[in-house]
Structure formats: structure tokens, C-alpha cells
A and B are shown apart, each in its own frame.
Chain A
Amino acid sequence: MTEFFAMGGYAAYVGTAYGAAVVVLAGLVVATLARRRSSRRNLEALEQLRGRGRRA
């Protein structure tokens, strides 16, 4: 286990590379899901508004 975390003395480089991958990929996932949620909410609200306008 200690050997694994030492990474032959290169732990800082290997760890930072994998950390950067997690940050970049998770960031893309979070941004994608957040924008999708807000856009869905907007669309639903607008379609409801439109539906009400038609009935009136």
C-alpha cells in the first residue's frame, strides 16, 4: 500500500494527472447536468404558460 502511494517517487506527477482527469471530467458532467436541469425547467414553465394562453 505504501509502495502504491509512493509511485516510485513520482506520486506527485501521477497523482496530479489522475486528479486533473477527475476534476475536468466531473466538471463537464456537473455543468452538463446543471444546464440540462435549468433548461428543462424553463421549457416546462413556458409550455404551461402557452397552454393556459390557448385555453383562455
Chain B
Amino acid sequence: MHRFANPARFLRLSAALRPWALGVALLTLVAGLWLALFDSPPDYQQGETVRIMYIHVPSAWMAMMVYATMAVASAVGLVWKHPVAELYTKAAAPLGAGFTALCLLSGSLWGQPMWGTWWVWDARLTSVLILFFIYLGYIVLVSAFDDPQRGLKAGAVLTLVGALNLPIIKFSVDWWNTLHQPASVVRMDGPSLDPAMLWPLLLMAVAFTALFAWLVLLRTETEIAERRIRALRLATAIAARRDEVPGLEQPVA
């Protein structure tokens, strides 16, 4: 783990991985969209609206998976003071919020024709809405401090507390009565989905994951650059006034 604590090493690794992530994302996105829109059957009950599943389910998975990686990174950042881990969390949060918004939007657009309502305040929908607000809360909290380091730390604590929401989302469909159907892919007895629908779903899930990987690597690189910019600005400002204060040490940028 500490091998990646060095930003220079992370930047090299990130530059090497990024083109692969983008390549996989584009390939699976084209193949997944083709299967999802043209080469998969309509559902015998839901008709063509089942195609919303290929957007809704992968974005729901991403909403939770991104948060899970943020929670792990926050723990690593708090325990080992890992400098890249906390920047990763900051870089990932807007992406997670985007996927969660997409999950809620597409779910609503699927709910209206199939359930007869855009929204119900049941456990699954409400807990995902809370996840969305936790993402937004994190983004606001991290940028609310003058000292970015304190913001990152407060954000890490919020992320860990908010992780309690993840099992609630996952098991909400089993614990409470809801309009939302229980899991049909990730279940003990294997997927209960026809392969003709499972394939586009999995391809879109890989596409979303690879797109996230590409974006989060880029964004973490940017966060590292931003940290360096702050350090350089501070150093330049102090250097400019060094003559006024005899004995002032030059800080290390």
C-alpha cells in the first residue's frame, strides 16, 4: 500500500493505466449500447422499458461501488496518513454523485410507466437518495475549510460514517416491503436474468466501471497538481517577502 503513497509513483502508474481504462470503456460502451438498444429482446412483462435497466442497474452499482472505494480510501488516509488516498476520495466524490443522480433519474423514468409513479418513499429509493445527499455533503464539506488538509480529514470521517448507508441500500429490498424488486443478478443461486439481457447489462457495467477508472485517475492527478500549485504559491509568496524578515527560512515546496 505504501508503494503508492509516493505521488510520483502514483502519477507514473496512473499515466500507464489511463489509456487502457479509456480503451476498455469505449469498446464496451459501443458493444453494450448496441446490445442494449438493438440486439436484446423486449421483456415479456415490461416491453421496451426494460432497456432502461441497462442504464439504471450499472449506475446503481457504480453509485455504491464508488462510495465503497471512497470509504476504503478514507480509512487508509486516516490510519496511514496516505496522501494520495485522501485525494482519491475527493476526486471520486463528484463521479459517485453523478452515477447516483443517473440511477435516481433512470429509476424514476422506469417507475412511471411500470409502477405508475415517479417516486415512492420506500426504503430502497429513500436510502439511495440519502446516498446522493451524502455525496453532496462530502463535496461541500471538503471545500468548506481554508486549510484543504482539514477539509480532506473531515470529509474522510463523513465518508466512513456514511458507509453505514451501504448495507442499508443493499438489503433494503429484503428487509422492508417495497415496490422495488429484489436483486436478480447478484444473488446466491446465480443470476435469474436471461443471457440475452445479462450480456448487455454486464457490458454496460464494465463500460461504466472503466469510464469511472479513467476519470478518477485523471482527477486524482489533477488533485495532486492542485496540491503542488498551492505549495508553490506559498513558497513564491514567502520568497517575495523574504528580505523583509531576516532569518526566515525558505519553505520546501
Q: Is B28 an interface residue (CB 8 A)?
A: no
Asked if residues B113 and A10 are in contact (CB atoms below 8 Å), the reply is yes
By secondary structure, the B interface counts as: helix
The answer to whether A21 touches B48, judged by C-beta atoms less than 8 angstroms apart, is no
CB pair A28 B225 closer than 8 Å: no
Is there contact, CB below 8 Å, between A17 and B239?
no
- CB contacts (< 8 Å) of B253 on chain A: these are 50
B41-57 CB mask vs A (1 if < 8 Å, else 0) is 01000011101100110
Do A10 and B94 touch across chains, with their CB atoms under 8 A apart? no
- Interface size of A by CB at 8 A reads 31
Q: Mark B102-130, 1 if CB is under 8 A from A, else 0.
A: 10011001101100000000000000000
Q: Cβ of A13 and Cβ of B109 under 8 Å apart?
A: yes
Given contacts A27-B98, A53-B236, contact A21 B221 (CB under 8 A): no
Contact of A28 (CB < 8 Å), options: B49, B51, B215? B215
Is B81 interfacial (CB 8 A cutoff)? no
Indicate if the CB atoms of B232 and A20 lie closer than 8 Å: no
Q: Are B232 and A17 in contact (CB under 8 A)?
A: no
- Of A14, A36, A42, the most chain B CB neighbours within 10 A belong to A14
For B109, the chain A residues whose CB sits under 8 A away are: 13-14, 16-17, 20
Q: Which residue of B is nearest A54, CB measured?
A: B239
B222 adjacent to A35 (CB under 8 Å):
yes
Task: Report whether A13 and B113 are in contact in the complex, using a CB–CB cutoff of 8 Å.
Answer: yes
Name A's B-contacting residues (CB within 8 A): 4, 7-10, 13-14, 16-18, 20-21, 24-25, 27-29, 31-33, 35-36, 39-40, 42-43, 46-47, 49-50, 53
